[in-house]
């Protein structure tokens, strides 16, 4: 199991906030991703679509998607981890920084590319809400009547970072325990020496 964090950024003109339509953790928001098979390296021909609402089974720990590599037939799963998204604010955008959109738990597959689809919402600096924005073409441009200015979103960017895997956590845990054990041994040795 490996966890990934998807982060997004964009250039925004007169836009205060960009996020999925029903909030950062919108359960029906579809994330479009290109995946790579962890076994043979084959890329999915078409992007997969995953959201946190639809599950493979009714079980609480069910993944949101199960997939099989067309090439080597290896089966893998994708699970959306809720509660990790933040809106892309004007401040972040102006500094060229990224906002976390979501986290994923993947088994057997690696997400390699995110595609901006539809279902986005943006709030202008004048307070106008633009609903159901489609960013699949890579940009959005409208006129804000209230603010009497154009509003645009363009130069969409995304990154996918690996978060610590269970294996790394295990290693770190081992290292901490090992250091503690060494420190105890040193202390004991010192104590013994002081008795001599």
Which residue of 30, 39, 62, 77 would you call a contact of Zn ion, by CB under 5 A? 39
Which residue of 10, 37, 135, 153 would you call a contact of Zn ion, by CB under 5 A? 37
Secondary structure of residue 176 in the 3-state scheme: helix
Q: Return the ∠ at Cα 101 (arms to 99 and 111), rounded to 5°.
A: 115
**Whose Cβ is closer to Zn ion: residue 35's or residue 156's?**
35
Contacts of 69 (CB under 8 A, 6+ apart): 37, 39, 40, 42, 75, 76
Q: Does 181 bind Zn ion (CB under 5 A)?
A: no
Q: Does 38 bind Zn ion (CB under 5 A)?
A: no
Contact between 8 and 98 under an 8 Å Cβ cutoff? The reply is: yes
Q: Which stretch binds Zn ion (CB under 5 A): 41-49, 112-120, 130-138, 180-188?
A: 41-49
Q: Does 36 bind Zn ion (CB under 5 A)?
A: no
CB-CB neighbours of 115 under 10 Å: 15
User: How many residues sit close enough to Zn ion to count as binding (CB under 5 A)?
Assistant: 8
Q: Does 72 bind Zn ion (CB under 5 A)?
A: yes
Contact between 139 and 157 under an 8 Å Cβ cutoff? The reply is: no
Which residue of 49, 71, 170, 182 would you call a contact of Zn ion, by CB under 5 A? 71
Q: Does 69 bind Zn ion (CB under 5 A)?
A: yes
Contacts of 57 (CB under 8 A, 6+ apart): none
Q: Which residues bind Zn ion (CB under 5 A)?
A: 37, 39-40, 42, 69, 71-72, 74
């Amino acid at each position: 199991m490996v966890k990934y964090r998807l982060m997004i950024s964009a250039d925004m003109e007169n836009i205060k906030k960009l996020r999925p339509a029903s909030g950062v953790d919108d359960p029906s928001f579809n994330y479009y991703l290109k995946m790579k098979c962890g076994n043979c390296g084959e890329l999915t021909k078409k992007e997969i679509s995953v959201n946190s609402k639809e599950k493979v089974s009714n079980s609480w720990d069910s993944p949101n998607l199960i997939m099989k590599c067309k090439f080597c037939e290896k089966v893998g799963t994708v699970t959306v981890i809720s509660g990790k998204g933040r809106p892309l604010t004007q401040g972040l955008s102006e500094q060229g920084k990224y906002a976390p959109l979501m986290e994923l738990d993947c088994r057997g597959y690696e997400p390699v590319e995110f595609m901006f689809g539809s279902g986005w919402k943006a709030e202008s600096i004048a307070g106008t809400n633009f609903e159901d924005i489609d960013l699949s073409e890579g940009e959005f441009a409208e006129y804000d009547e209230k603010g009497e200015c154009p509003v645009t979103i363009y130069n969409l960017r995304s990154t996918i970072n690996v978060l610590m895997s269970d294996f790394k956590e295990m290693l770190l845990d081992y290292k901490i325990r090992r250091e503690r054990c060494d420190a105890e041994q040193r202390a004991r040795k010192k104590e013994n020496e002081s008795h001599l």
